[in-house]
Structure 1
Amino acid sequence: MTMHRPFKTAVLALATTALLAGCAALGPKHPIGNSAVPEPAKPVELAKYLGRWYEIARYEQSFQKGCEGVSADYTLRSDGMISVRNACRKPSGKLSVANGKAKIVDPATNAKLKVSFFGPFYGNYWVLDHADDYAWAIVGEPSGRYLWLLAREATPTQDRIETQIARAKALGYDTSMLIRTKQP
C-alpha cells in the first residue's frame, strides 16, 4: 500500500510531536516563578517594539545556560510575521545565534505572540508590560516558568533596573529567581 504525500506528512508531524512531548514530559521542568501570570498590562505598538533589545535579567533556562551579552533583534517580514534573532556569548566565548520567527496571536493588543525556532513548533511570548517610551519591556508566558527583563540600553542605570525588577515583582514574579545578565 502506498501512502499519499499529505498523509505521510501528517503521520510524520504527529510522530514528531508525540516524540517531543514525550521527551518534554521526561525532562526536568523549570521552576514556576509566577503561578498566576497576569494578562499583558497594555497594548504594544509593533513599530516601537521592533529593533534591538538587551537582556538585563532572566529566569535561567537550559538553552541560555551561562549566556552573557544577550540581545534580541526583531524586524518585520514582508509576510507580516516578525524575524527574531537571538544572540549570546557562551562561557566558551563562542557567539551563539538563534534565528526564528514570530506571529501575533492577539491582534487587538499585539502583546501576545507565538515564537518558533524549530519549524512548526511555537512557544508563547507575552509582552507583559513595557515603558511608555519602550525603554524597557518585561516578557513572559502563561506557565510562569520563563521571564525576561529587556532594555534598549545594554547597561541601563541601576535605578531603571530596580524599577523594572519591582514591576516584575508587582506582576507576581519571584524576582529572587532572576539572574542578572552580564553585558559587555
Structure 2
Amino acid sequence: MHISRSSFIRAAALAAALAGAQALLSGCAVHVPHGVKPVTGFDAKRYMGTWYELARIDHSFEKDLTQVSARYSLNEDGSVSVLNRGFDSVRKEWREAEGKARFLGPTDVAALKVSFFGPFYGGYNVVSLDEDYQTSLVIGGSMDYFWILSRHKSMPEQQLDLLLQKARSFGVDLERVTKVAQ
C-alpha cells in the first residue's frame, strides 16, 4: 500500500490536532488537591441559598471586590446554579458572574467542579462545614484557591480566627488570605 506524502501530512496534522485537543481538555479536568478531604455526609439542599465571603486568597477575577456573595440553587438535573456578586471598589460598580457546578462523584461528598467560562472548570471542595450549615471552608482545585463563607455578613473575630487556624491545618497559606469587607 502506497501512502502519498500529502495524505501522510494530513494524517499527521490531524493526529497532532487531536493530541493538542486532548491535552487542552485534560487541562480542564478537575481533581481534589492532594491531601484535601471534602466533607462527607454533605446535604446539597441545606447548602443552597446565599453565602457571604468573609476571607479569600485574592485572584484577578475577584480583585478589588467587596461585599461578595454567592447564591446557590439546585437544578432538576442535580447540578447547581451559581450567582456570584461583588462590588468593585475601584470602578464603583457591581459585578456578577453566573456559573454552574457539578459534583465530581457522589452528591453526599462536597467535591464539585464549577464553570463560569464555557468548558473550563475549577474545583470547589467544601473541606469544613459546621453542623448547622452556617460556615464553610472551601478549597479550589489547588491550595491557591480558598474561601471562608458564612450565612451572615460578619462573625466574631475569635470565630473567624478559629476558622483561619482550621484552614492552616488543611495547608492554606494564611499569609495570602485577605479578609473581605462586607
- Same fold by TM-score greater than 0.5: yes
Give the aligned partner of residue 70 of structure 2.
72
2:86 to 72, 77, 88: 88
Given residue 42 of structure 2, which amino acid in structure 1 is its aligned partner?
Answer: V
Alignment of 1:30-109 (within 5 A): 37-91=35-89, 92-107=91-106, 109=108
Aligned partners of 1:37 and 1:142 also within 8 Å: no
Task: Please report how far the alpha carbon of residue 108 of structure 1 lies from its aligned counterpart in structure 2 after TM superposition.
Answer: 5.5
Give a deviation string over 1:138-177, Cα, whole Å, max 9, x none. Answer: 1012421100010110111212211211111121211121
Q: TM-score, normalised by structure 1?
A: 0.78
State the aligned residue count. Answer: 159
The whole-number CA distance in structure 2 between the counterparts of 1:106 and 1:80 is 12
Specify the structure having the higher radius of gyration (Cα): 2
Q: Does the Cα contact within 8 Å between 1:99 and 1:117 map onto a contact in 2?
A: yes
What residue number does 2:4 align with? none
Which runs of 5 or more structure 1 residues have no equivalent in the other structure? 1-9, 22-34
In the alignment, what sits opposite 1:30?
none
Query: For residues 165 and 120 of structure 1, do their structure 2 counterparts lie closer, same or farther at Cα, with a shift above 3 Å needed?
Result: same
Deviations 1:15-58 (A, max 9, x none): 9x48xx7xxxxxxxxxxxxx954212443211111110000000
CA RMSD of aligned residues (A): 2.5
Q: What's the CA shift string for 1:56-115, capped at 9, x where partnerless?
A: 000010110011000000001122211000001002111000000001112163310010
| Amino acid of the structure 2 residue aligned with 1:102 | A
Counterpart AA for 1:79: D
**1:115-146 per-position Cα deviation (integer Å, ceiling 9, x unaligned):** 01111221111111111111100101242110
Residue identity (%): 34
